[in-house]
Amino acid sequence: MTSFESGRRAEAVAADFLCRKGCTVLAQNWRTRFCEIDIVAQRGSVIYFCEVKYRQSNSRGSGMAYITPRKVQQMRLSARHWLYENQWKGSSQLCAIEVSGPKFTITNVVKDIY
């Protein structure tokens, strides 16, 4: 399986997880020329902008270790673009979902990244 295929599978697992938690997935791999969001989901009056990080193993660090201040800045920019484009006036949050291993197991969820 290529890294692209692994990433897509991890995103599918994360989207399924969000649906089981009561969210509606509005978009996957939403992108503009400048930015991309792995998953945009809604639960009630809140939009969640989810970054999905997959690691086959943690030998080089967990997926969450790759959510750097620069990545959070990119996530904020992406979220602002989506909110503007969709004229969303409600609440929103940045979140991250870590998927690990050959069985694509969700190993960590950060509900609100600042």
Q: What integer pLDDT is reported at residue 61 of this predicted model? A: 63
R_g of the chain computed on alpha carbons: 14
Instruction: Give the position of tokens 């291993």.
Output: 101
Confidence of residue 114 (pLDDT cuts 50, 70, 90): low
Instruction: Give the position of tokens 């989901």.
Output: 41
Sheet holding 46-55, edge to edge: 24-31, 36-43, 46-55, 91-100, 105-110
Q: What integer pLDDT is reported at residue 57 of this predicted model? A: 67
Return d(Cα 79, Cα 103) in angstroms, integer: 30
Q: What integer pLDDT is reported at residue 60 of this predicted model? A: 67
Nearest to 78 by CA among 40, 24, 23: 40
Total count of residues recorded for the chain: 114
pLDDT digits (tens, 9 = 90+) for 16-61: 999 999 999 999 999 888 888 999 999 999 999 999 998 876 666 6
Domains of the chain and CATH, by start: 3-110 (3.40.1350.10)
pLDDT digits (tens, 9 = 90+) for 65-100: 778 889 889 999 999 999 999 999 899 999 999 999
Q: What integer pLDDT is reported at residue 40 of this predicted model? A: 97
